[in-house]
Amino acid sequence: MKKLYVGNLPYSVTADDLTSMFSQAGAVASATIISDKFSGRSKGFGFVEMENDEEAAKAIEMFNEQDNGGRKMIVNEARPLEDRPPRRDFGPRA
């Protein structure tokens, strides 16, 4: 399975919308929209897991830079969590 990052989405897009859109490229294992934990509102990005690498590559080719609700989607291979730079630590309060 290959996990894809899907960014710059309109806030109205749902996980079901992502599933139906990406199923045009192949079998979708899962689709998730990331939402703010306090407001519950979409953060404008999500993740789609495709069944295999070929279908994932096809989805990137089909949807990266495509217009969706007036916004150009960004679709690429998701990076593993550990490869991201650490969050800033402001240290203990004085």
* 74 exposure class (CB count in 10 Å sphere: 0-12, 13-18, 19+): middle
What mean pLDDT do residues 21-44 have? 95
* Side chain identity, residue 72: K
State residue 46's pLDDT score: 97
Give the CA dihedral 58, 56, 14, 41, nearest 10 degrees.
-120
State residue 81's pLDDT score: 76
State residue 87's pLDDT score: 67
- Spell out the domains of the chain, with CATH numbers in brackets: 2-78 (3.30.70.330)
State residue 53's pLDDT score: 95
Q: What is the pLDDT of residues 53-84, one digit of tens each?
A: 999 999 999 999 999 989 999 999 998 877 66
Residue 85 has pLDDT above 80, yes or no: no
Give the global pTM.
0.83
What mean pLDDT do residues 17-46 have? 95
pLDDT over 70 for what percent of the chain? Answer: 89
